[in-house]
A = this chain, B = another copy of it.
């Protein structure tokens, strides 16, 4: 069974770079990557917060949050 990996972003330049390189670099045989644009789907903000996301871009993998560089604070997206 594949592990879900969730990549949160907000369409910013830093986010896009991380998505195209890092999120796409994950092993597709082990991970099913969901890409969530928080600017376009603000209904996902609460879930991102619960997962511990503080800024985007961020990758949630195995319950751990990895904040990658810094594009925008989550609070700026509300």
A17 lies within 8 A of B68 (CB): no
User: A38 on the interface (CB 8 Å rule)?
Assistant: no
B26 lies within 8 A of A64 (CB): no
What are 18 A-B pairs with beta-carbon distances under 8 A?
A5-B25, A17-B64, A21-B61, A21-B64, A21-B66, A22-B59, A22-B61, A25-B27, A25-B30, A25-B31, A25-B61, A26-B26, A26-B27, A27-B27, A27-B29, A65-B69, A67-B68, A68-B68
CB nearest neighbor in B for A31:
B25
* Complex: A5 Cα to B65 Cα, angstroms: 20
Name 10 extra pairs, CB < 8 A, besides A5-B25, A25-B30: A18-B66, A21-B61, A21-B64, A22-B59, A25-B27, A25-B61, A27-B28, A27-B29, A65-B69, A67-B69
